């Protein structure tokens, strides 16, 4: 992550994606922190002024070289210091590859196998299971009284 991007991050907000293509899920092997050495879904911090779905798409591309389109919101984790949103995302293009920074590899693994692996942490496992259910909140169009702000509404 470049120093330029670091100053633009909103450190209390992050987004990630579960990308499933042909029954396989896209995972990255993390190189730092609590997730070091584990296979996790790609994601990261939201930049100031960026919406979570756009951050999800950007982070997947930066970390894996794969272009995706965010679809359903399938999970939100809240803590006393931050929040984390997870979307399903459809594959658009690209070959999975490591960013050689935040991850040491980007791989496609059978989605059901991934939920049984010891090197896949609980949060990633739960999000993959949620994506496999094919349910979640979808973006719903609406007209807001405050038309000068970009807003998105997700509903069941």
Q: Is the pLDDT of residue 4 over 60?
A: no
H runs (alpha helix) in the chain: 3-8, 52-64, 111-114, 122-132
Q: Per-residue pLDDT tens for 78-90?
A: 988 899 999 999 9
What pTM value is reported for the model? 0.88
How many independent structural domains does the chain possess?
1
pLDDT classification of 141: cutoffs 50, 70, 90: confident
- Whichever domain contains 142, its CATH number is 3.90.79.10
Separation CA 47–CA 33 (nearest Å): 20
* Enclosing domain of residue 70: 3-155
Q: Per-residue pLDDT tens for 8-46?
A: 887 899 999 999 999 999 999 999 998 999 999 999 999
Separation CA 15–CA 58 (nearest Å): 10
- The residue among 96 and 149 whose pLDDT is bigger is 96
Q: Is the pLDDT of residue 1 over 70?
A: no
Backbone angles phi, psi at 98, to 5 degrees: -70, 150
């Amino acid at each position: 992550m470049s120093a330029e991007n670091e100053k633009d991050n909103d450190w209390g907000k992050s987004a990630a994606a579960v990308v499933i293509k042909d029954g396989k899920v896209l995972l990255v092997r993390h190189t730092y922190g609590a997730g070091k050495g584990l296979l996790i879904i790609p994601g990261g911090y939201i930049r100031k002024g960026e919406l979570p779905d756009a951050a999800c798409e950007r982070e997947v591309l930066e970390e894996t070289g794969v272009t995706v389109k965010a679809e359903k919101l399938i999970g939100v984790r809240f803590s006393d210091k931050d929040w984390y949103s997870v979307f399903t995302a459809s594959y658009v293009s690209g070959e999975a590859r490591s960013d050689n920074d935040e991850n040491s590899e980007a791989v496609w693994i059978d989605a059901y196998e991934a939920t049984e692996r010891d090197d896949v942490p609980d949060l990633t496992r739960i999000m993959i299971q949620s994506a496999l259910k094919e349910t979640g909140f979808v973006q719903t169009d609406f007209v807001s009284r405050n038309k000068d702000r970009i807003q998105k509404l997700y509903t069941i």
